Structure 1
Amino acid sequence: MKKRFLTGLAAMLAFGALVQAQPTEKQLSALPILASLDSLTSVLYGSGMLNNTSPVQAEQLDFSPEKDLPQFPGKLIQERMSSLGSEIPLEYNSYVKGFIDLYGRRKSELTSKMLGLSEYYFPIYEEILDRNNLPLELKYLSVVESALNPKATSWAGASGPWQFIYSTGVRYGLTINSYVDERRDVYKSTQAACDYFRDSYELYGDWLLVIASYNCGPGNVNKAIRRSGGKKNFWAIQQYLPRETRGYVPAFVAVTYLMNFAAEHGITTTPADFYSLVQAVEVDELLTFEQLAVALDLSTENIYDLNPHFTKEMVPDIGGSMTVYLPYHKAMAYACMRDSICEMPLYDENGRAYRLDLRVEKVRYKVRKGDNLSSIARKYQVTPSDIKEWNIVRKNRVVPGSYLTIHIDKKERVYLDLPEQPVLAQKVSPENTEARYHTIKSGDTLYSISRQYEGVTVDMLRKWNNLADNQVLVPGSVLKVAEGS
């Protein structure tokens, strides 16, 4: 898969210092990859996936992770790699050592967060890799590609946990349009990555060359093989590969090692605030995340975290059913009420009932000098392929002065003649020091109750009232909506 620049960890693997020798401390300090890793950490925090950031207390170690990181002999590290029994050859050398130092020392905090996220993503990857009879260690490529962030997108357009570019994603059967980007669907993109791995292995018969081709494309790998005199071994052709790929494969080996021997390097796990059990449901009608959130007593953020492949916070009706991932108990609730969710009214901040009117508005855009399909698509939050389809255009070139038809989604509130939802005017704030309570009425959900009290969230209500995720609200019972001091 040819990608000249990749999001996150892979974005800055192209540095020449690793080409001939292990980088020095001074060289590592100057690497842009450090800033890139810091940026990834910020993205993960912002996504809400790392809300709980207190490290798990590991077994007592005989050194301080902050000050006295262990230095293991290369022979021991190689023995540990061999003990994994991987079909992928894992070799310890100066190139790999540079990345073990980077991930294990300078960026051990990020590695700790990846360990937490892996508890959710790795079982998904392992099931799909096993189903395709592929080495399970290939799951670590997603760490290098995106730091296990399905929302990761590079400036060059690579997207999702496996960082597919548009053309490769489409080639491997992923749907990419204005509403859906299956490169960000953890399940479907992983299957697409497996298809790529299998095709590439049939070509090279060597897993490290498969990994190299995933980064720089088979064309560059084939060229390096020819320049090396026909050798089909990564370390033998490394010097002939693009600069970023020379570091990409050693980074994969280092990540594979550290994710298995983190504790030995003083790295504990930072748990991710994520659902442990998720179920796929099929939705065959247009449904907004807001409608789902109200009906299932979830936040729209929860739904988006599990479904980042829906780009406009709605499940579109574009022919055929769409896959939506929900917490298991919410998926069961959806199955019971799926026929009535679209009919359920929504309520604004003043308690007035409304429904959402979704329609498409067509606009004419006059192409300006310097425009291209990608820049126009970004302006209107659509994809270049959408513009080509709407205008029956085959080529990527656009002519200044010509006109293009763009389809813009409009989402408007249509107010209904229904009784208003009761809204309490009382504000819950730090100045209100007494505990306050809400009597549950028929039709109440934690989400609707939280909206009646400023500054109160569903998570706060669960915490204050010791409620389980699947707790049933009984009309007439009382909920605490403000914690007394």
Structure 2
Amino acid sequence: MDTLSIISENIIDEVEKDSLDFLEINPVDVRWDLNDTINTTFSNNLDSLVYTWYAKNTLKTKKPHQAPIELSTETIPDSVYIQRLENIPSLIDLSYNKIVRNYIELYSQRRRSQVEMMLGLSEYYFPIFEEILDKEGLPQELKYLPIIESALNPTALSRAGASGLWQFMYGTGRMYKLDINTFIDERRDPVKASYAAVKYLKDMYKVYGNWHLVIAAYNCGPGNVNKAIRRSGGKRNYWDIYFHLPKETRGYVPAFIAALYTFNYHEAHQLFPQPSSLPVACDTLLINEQLHFDQVANVINISKEQLRELNPQYRADIIPASKDGYALKVPFQYSAKFIDNQDSIFAYKKEFYFSIKDKVVNPSDRYQKFAHVTPKDKAKVYYKVKSGDAIGLIASWFHVRTSDVRYWNNVRRNLIKVGQKLVIYVPKGKESYYSNFNTMGYSEKQATLGKTVASSSSTVSTTSSTSNSNAPFVYYTVKRGDNFWTIAKKFPGISNSDIMRINNIKDDGSLKVGQKIKIQPKS
């Protein structure tokens, strides 16, 4: 999970406990993205002119070049926050209390860099949300929901399986007509998922007629909101049912209000949008034939990474054939190139990317059959994952990129298992050399890179305790922000599961700052 996802998942944990006094809430209860030449030149200049117009008229002011900002330590009075919230045109009640204040301070003080990243991303995503909300007649303020749902990360995936900017669960996504199969997950499509989210919100408003309750229901489901209403004696005010809501939902409305405030008054807190890699303007093309991102990238010279970024709904870099067609979003300046070279794009190495000529890609077919074709001048070898292996280590031993290993093996979030067989493509003639890695120990594999493995870390105290392999244990003190993955990275050859097994710990939630855990370094 990337940084932005982590922001949205862990944001509730940073609320100060003393902000809960006004509701007498127990702190323990709150946790919670030449003619031809002339014509060509004219066409290119025209495209450039239009793109420049878009840039001038859509970009917000960026952070000025200046010395580092010295933040004022002066406390902002409640009256200022209250007045500012009252000045924001909103159909949704923007309540203010100590919980809301503390979330505002979280966004504006303690999470500044992440908020500036989201401000930059909002320049791309907010116009999409605003257009759909306007078309459906819903309050524009609802565009801030994806801030707390996914931190504007279209590939965000929660532990419960919710996916996309709006964090739809599989069942709810299918209920609202989102296509989810081997090749496509429309929960990650910014446009289609936004339409689905708006329909869901409209349905909830018909039920509750109160936006606070609608927002709460979006987070925990209408069933939990209904239970809270019953347990409160039929009250339908969010703050009246606060205690009866699930713990992870109690801070959801305050976080929404604080996000709305911060985005409206970011300059007052010296927060400025950080430029993102997303383009200012895009064009959408309707694709009916099967198409691989590599075909587009190689013919019109666009980055495949950018295609992935703009089209996160395609899981295998493949757009399946469809009578109705699927959308392909490209930066505005590339749309004319695509149209001019359309036949060449679809014909480019067609047999290479699709194993059977003119066969329609059926989403029910296996992913690997279409996605993994042996690269030119490469041979395929298999590597069996061992305890302590990580995607980055394996990639370094085989002299390939980590992203390639993930792509070849459909690995998400670097998650691999002991015993899993990974496909690796290596130079022809070197199959035997790389196959030997299956019989080497960790030290031997590291030695091929010129690296020597130390038996223990000089910065960590050792003890006389031993494991079955007779290697000494070392103790590591958990620091703020640590999890099993970050700790394992400090000890070569050690995996998350090694640490969890030795310490008899089942999940990251069991780690506490200051806790000492045992590590058994690999020899």
Residues in 2 aligned to 1:206 and 1:59: alpha-carbon distance in whole angstroms: 44
Q: For residue 229 of structure 1, what is the aligned residue in structure 2?
A: 233
Specify which structure has the higher proportion of helix.
2
> What does residue 431 of structure 1 align with?
none
Map of 1:183 onto structure 2: 187
- Equivalent residues in 2 for 1:193-272, closer than 5 Å: 193-272=197-276
Using the TM superposition, give the Cα deviation of residue 228 of structure 1 relative to its aligned residue in structure 2, in angstroms. 1.2
- Map of 1:285 onto structure 2: 289
Q: Does the 8 Å contact 2:19/2:98 carry over to 1?
A: no
C-alpha separation in 1, matches of 2:74 and 2:170: 43
User: Following the alignment from structure 2 to structure 1, what is the Cα–Cα distance between the partners of residues 209 and 6?
Assistant: 28
Distance in 1, matches of 2:98 and 2:356, equals: 58
Could you say which residue in structure 2 is the equivalent of 1:333? 337
Structure 2 residue 360 is matched with structure 1 residue 358 = no
1:323 match: secondary structure: strand
Shift, 1:67, TM fit: 4.1
Moved over 6 A (4+): none
Aligned-pair CA distance for 1:60: 8.8
Q: For 1:326, what is the secondary structure of its paired residue? A: strand
Question: Partner residue of 1:409?
Answer: 369
Cα offset, 1:22, TM superposition: 7.6
Conserved in 2, the CA contact under 8 Å of 1:8 and 1:152?
no
Cα distance 1:112–1:407, how it changes in 2: closer, same or farther (>3 A)?
closer
1:57 counterpart = 2:63: yes
1:126/1:139 contact within 8 Å kept: yes
How far apart are residue 357 of structure 1 and its match? 3.1
Deviation track 1:215-236 (CA, whole Å, cap 9, x = no partner) reads: 0000000111111111111111
Q: Kindly indicate whether residue 25 of structure 2 is the aligned counterpart of residue 21 of structure 1.
A: no
Q: One-letter code of the match for 2:353?
A: L
Please show how residues 48-197 of structure 1 align to structure 2 within 5 Å.
Answer: 56-58=62-64, 65-197=69-201
Q: Please state if 1:11 is matched with 2:17.
A: no
One of 309, 321, 327 as aligned partner of 1:317: 321
Question: How many equivalent residue pairs?
Answer: 335
| Structure 1 residue ranges without an equivalent (≥5) | 1-5, 34-39, 41-54, 347-353, 361-385, 391-405, 417-485
| Separation in 2, partners of 1:197, 1:246 | 19
User: Bigger shift: 146-155 or 6-15?
Assistant: 6-15
Letter of the 2:63 counterpart: Q
The separation in 1 between residues aligned to 2:216 and 2:118, in whole angstroms, is 22
Q: Is the 8 A contact 2:216 2:252 kept in 1?
A: yes
| Secondary structure at 2:352 match in 1 | strand
User: Distance between the aligned counterparts of 2:175 and 2:342, measured in 1?
Assistant: 33
Residues 150 and 160 in structure 1, CA contact (< 8 A), matched pair in contact too: yes
Task: Give CA-to-partner distance per residue, 1:183-212, whole Å, 9 cap, x none.
Answer: 111011011110011000000000011100
**Structure 1 Cα separation of the partners of residues 260 and 367 of structure 2:** 45
Residue identity opposite 2:21 in structure 1: A
Shift of 1:56: 3.5
SS in 2 for 1:145: helix
* AA matched with 1:412: V
Task: Judge conservation of contact 2:63–2:274 (CA < 8 Å) in 1.
Answer: no
3-state SS of the aligned residue for 1:231? coil
Aligned equivalents of 1:316, 1:7: Cα separation in 2: 28
Q: Check conservation: 1:7, 1:163, Cα contact below 8 A.
A: no
Q: Which residue of 1 aligns with 2:396?
A: none
Task: Report the Cα distance in structure 1 between the residues aligned to 2:344 and 2:87, rounded to whole angstroms.
Answer: 55
1:358 shift after superposition: 3.4
C-alpha change, 1:92 and 1:259, in structure 2 (3 Å) is same
Superposed CA deviations along residues 103-132 of structure 1, whole A, max 9, x for unmatched, are 111111111111111111111110111001
Distance 1:8 1:103, change over 3 A: same
Percent of pairs identical after alignment? Answer: 39
**Is the Cα–Cα contact under 8 Å of residues 90 and 253 in structure 1 kept in the other structure?**
yes
Partner letter of residue 136 of structure 1?
Q
Shift in CA distance, 233/7, structure 1 to aligned 2, threshold 3 Å: farther
Which residue identity is paired with 2:97? N
The letter for the 1-side match of 2:141 is E
Distance change in 2, residues 1:74/1:305 (3 Å)? same
Local SS of the residue matching 1:281: strand
Distance of 1:179 and 1:223 partners within structure 2: 38
Partners of 1:269 and 1:93 in 2: CA distance: 27
- Any stretches of 5+ residues in structure 2 without a counterpart? 34-60, 358-362, 378-523
TM-score of the superposed pair, with normalisation by structure 2:
0.59
Q: How far did 1:336 drift?
A: 2.4
